[in-house]
């Protein structure tokens, strides 16, 4: 599983600064940051774009509001967009203020987000 360790550290530092109770989980070929047992944001390597992307769970309303923001596009894993999520190219999070913008939106949406149902083991 390859993902940008420096970006992970930047996210980790910001969450720690905010004194958030979070944990990390390796999934979807990358790293996901869980807040209140809900996926908040994450990092994954996009094979088509050949770069690491920031995955941001910002809610459906915000996905439409921010699609025109630098580096932002609908998050797709299976060829169709995932509702409430966007992916951000490095140009959209390289600057600290841009990363903070996305992380703040993820954190703000988290209380509204639903917890994924756990699958039963077979």
Q: Which tens digit of pLDDT belongs to each residue from 100-122?
A: 999 999 999 999 998 877 666 66
Q: What integer is the mean pLDDT of 77-97?
A: 89
Asked if 85 and 63 count as a contact pair (C-beta separation under 8 A), the reply is: yes
* Mean pLDDT along residues 88-102: 96
| CATH number assigned to the domain with residue range 5-112, chosen from the 4 options 3.40.50.20, 3.90.1150.30, 3.40.50.300, 3.20.20.70 | 3.90.1150.30
Structural domain boundaries of the chain? 5-112
Q: Mean pLDDT throughout 35-53? A: 90
Q: What is the pLDDT, as a whole number, of residue 21?
A: 94
Model-level pTM? 0.89
More confident residue, 86 or 50: 86
């Amino acid at each position: 599983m390859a993902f940008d360790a420096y970006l992970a550290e930047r996210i980790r530092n910001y969450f720690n600064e905010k004194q958030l109770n979070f944990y990390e989980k390796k999934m979807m070929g990358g790293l996901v940051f869980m807040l209140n047992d809900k996926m908040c944001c994450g990092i994954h390597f996009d094979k088509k774009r050949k770069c690491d992307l920031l995955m941001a769970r910002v809610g459906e309303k915000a996905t439409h509001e921010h699609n025109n923001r630098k580096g932002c596009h609908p998050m797709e894993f299976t060829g169709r967009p995932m509702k409430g999520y966007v992916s951000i190219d490095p140009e959209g999070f390289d600057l600290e203020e841009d990363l903070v913008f996305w992380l703040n939106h993820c954190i703000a949406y988290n209380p509204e987000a639903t917890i994924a149902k756990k699958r039963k083991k077979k």
